[in-house]
Amino acid sequence: MGSAGSAGSVSSADGAEPVLVYREGRAGHIVLNRPRALNALTHPMVRRIDAALDAFERDPDVAVVVLSGAGERGLCAGGDIRAIHEDARGDRTASPAFWRDEYRLNARVARCPKPYVALMDGIVMGGGIGVSAHGRFRVVTERSTLAMPETGIGFAPDVGGSLLLARAPGELGTHLALTASTADAGDALYCGLADHLVPTERLADFAKALADGVVEEAVERYAAPAPPSGLARHREWIDHCYAADTVEEILARLRAHPASPCPDSAADSTTGSGANSAGNGVGSGAGAERELGPAMAARSIEGKSPTGLKVALAQLRAARRLGALEPVLEREFRASCAALSSWDLVEGIRAQVIDKDRAPRWSPATLEEVSEERVAAYFAPPAGGDPRLGTPPTAP
């Protein structure tokens, strides 16, 4: 493939090609190109990325694969949840097909035989984590905002996110999953969601330097020291409270913890989970509640889907036991397919993205009403069977 220009010169206007693929020197570039939708992933985009990886892995002149996003706002806000909402209200066939191929792609990124560099500048959420955070070199900037905010829409972390969160120090991943909180660059590096910080003003030069095909040299030249992590300062109460076996007990510990309660004036920034400005994903205010402590964390959790919370906790605990990406993705696929038939997913997307009234009516409405049997049903094999993660994506 011939070069189509540098990574720093990608057009910021949505065009006919939602994924741009080109070579620059020894670097093969994949650019998510839906900036008006914050580069939200669609099924054709997943297929295009997979085809690009096929080409780059076979090409002896390509030494490194580079993933980036067009526009100034972020790498990727996640999957196109408006499309998922439409499918959940319809015949429910498009989303499982999308997830099969998306999760296969996530697994493929993790086993890419060539260095895979993800430029995680700006907003990176949900499906954006899946195509970036399983790579070998994960680069954030001071503008980065990462999240797995699925509990805010009646869903649970997927795309291998439950394994990434389970591997975070202590119970930080559980906190991020249940509160749907965001992680800034310092937190992402501390939690193991990223590897290096490259300041925004150096990012284009860093991408150009990858044309030489030697990632380590580019990192050494352009990376900066990791900033401090706000979450790290709160490990004591986070590890204690979130080590509990149930969401109910986690909430009880958060409410009872002696740390100072947060002021009511800060509540609006962290209660619930707001849709991002592209309307394709959800997340709470960057870092606010972790500065406010356990009381605010409890209030944030109380606004999430009770079913989504219990499924998320079960998935994180299972991911910790399994310890490998592919079996975790299979469990996540089961949970995603089950959620597609649930009231909460449709209602959560409606409240956060469609109507934006931020007032979801969950059913069941309380944690106590979500039985162990209901949670277990989310992990039963789906009607179409488990995804075969080593197989190529389905034909259009």
Which residues are catalytically annotated? 79, 127, 150, 158
State the Cα–Cα distance between residues 47 and 70, nearest whole angstrom: 18
Cα–Cα distance list, 208 to 9, 25, 49, 204, 222 (Å): 11, 9, 20, 6, 11
Beta bridge partners of 76: 124
Collect all residues with Cβ–Cβ distance below 8 Å to 361 and sequence separation of at least 6. Answer: 347, 351
Task: Report the chain's C-alpha Rg in angstroms.
Answer: 20
Q: Which residue has the tokens 């493929």?
A: 108
Write the secondary structure of 122-173 as one string of H (helix), E (strand) and C (coil).
Answer: EEEECHHHHCCCCCCEEEECCCCEEECCHHHHCCCCCCCHHHHHHCCCCCHH
State the Cα–Cα distance between residues 188 and 241, nearest whole angstrom: 21
310: three-class secondary structure by DSSP:
helix
Q: Is 362 exposed, middle or buried (0-12, 13-18, 19+ CB in 10 A)?
A: buried
List phi, psi (to 5°) of 55: -65, -45
The Cβ-side half-sphere exposure at 84, using a 13 Å CA radius, reads 35
One-letter amino acid identity for 237? W
- Whether a cis peptide bond, with omega within 30° of 0, leads into 364 is yes
State the Cα–Cα distance between residues 114 and 135, nearest whole angstrom: 10
State the Cα–Cα distance between residues 41 and 51, nearest whole angstrom: 15
Cβ(284)–Cβ(149) below 8 Å:
yes
One-letter amino acid identity for 371? S
Beta bridge partners of 67: 30, 118
Burial per residue of 105-121, b for 16 or more beta-carbon CB atoms within 10 angstroms, e otherwise: bbbbbbebebbbbbbbb
